[in-house]
Amino acid sequence: MGRRALRKPDPSLDLTGYLLSFDDLPQPLQTTALFGRSGPLEIEVGSGKGLFLQNAAIRHPDRLYLGTEVAQKYARHAAGRLAKCGLTGAKIVVSDALRVFSERIAEASLAAVHVYFPDPWWKKRHKKRRVMVPAFLKDIERALEPGGRLHFWTDVEEYFHSTLELIAAETDLAGPFDVPEMPPEHDLDYRTHFERRTRLAGGPVYRAEFERKP
C-alpha cells in the first residue's frame, strides 16, 4: 500500500527544534541535550506523516519521542504536525534509522523502539533493503534498556513471520508478546495512517512486542 500525496505545509509554522538533521543529534544522544529535560526516550523508525509521534506525545507527556524519516517531505510534514500542537516532547530527524542507531544511540538508553508498517520491499532481490535485518535488530537490542520494548507491526504476513524468526535467531529478546487490537476512540486514534487505512479497508494487522531481558 503506497503513500498518498501530502498536503502543502503551512508556511507560517516554525519548525525550529522539531525538524532535525543527523548532525543536530548529540553524540551520544542524550535527552537533556536534545529536549532540554530528562525522561524515558522512545524512537520511532520511519515516522511517515507523524501520527504516532503526535498521539504518543499527547498521551505521555512524561516521555520523550524521536522519529526518524528518510524522506524529507514526510519529515517536514510530521514536524509541522508536532509544531502545530506545540508538543515539546517529540522531534523528528531526517535520517536513515540504521545510521542513527549505529552512530548516536548508546547502550541501554532507550525505553522503547517502534517499527510500524516498514516498507516490505516485495521483490526477492530487494528484500535485503528491508529495515528489519540482523545488524539492525542487534542494534535495537543493544540500545534498549533492560525491560525496554520493541514494538513491531506490519500488514504483510510474510514480513511479520520472517522478522519474528530473525529476532529469535539473532537476538536474546524475550517474546513475541501478543498485542490486542484496540477499537479506535476517534478517527485518528491509530498508531499510524497505514494502520488506519488497513483497518478501515478490513485488512489484517500483525502485531508483536519484544522485551530486552535484565
CB count in 10 Å sphere of residue 4: 9
**Are the C-beta atoms of residues 120 and 154 closer than 8 Å to each other?**
yes
CATH number of 19-211: 3.40.50.150
Place of cell 528489519: 132
The whole-model pTM stands at 0.93
| Catalytic entry in 14, 23, 62, 119 | 119
pLDDT in tens, 121-162: 667 776 777 899 999 999 999 999 999 999 999 999 999 999
Distance CA 145, CA 158 (A): 29
Q: How much is the pLDDT for 85? A: 94
Instruction: Please choose, from the candidates 148, 209, 130, the residue with its C-alpha nearest in 3D space to the C-alpha of residue 177.
Output: 209
Q: How much is the pLDDT for 9? A: 66
Work out the pLDDT band at 17, boundaries 50, 70, 90.
Answer: very high
Q: How much is the pLDDT for 1? A: 46
From residue 128, alpha-carbon distances to 3, 4, 132, 134 in Å are: 21, 25, 9, 10
- Domain definitions of the chain by residue range: 19-211
Report whether pLDDT(42) > 60: yes
Is 189 tagged catalytic?
no
Cell of 146: 533492560
Cell of 156: 504483510
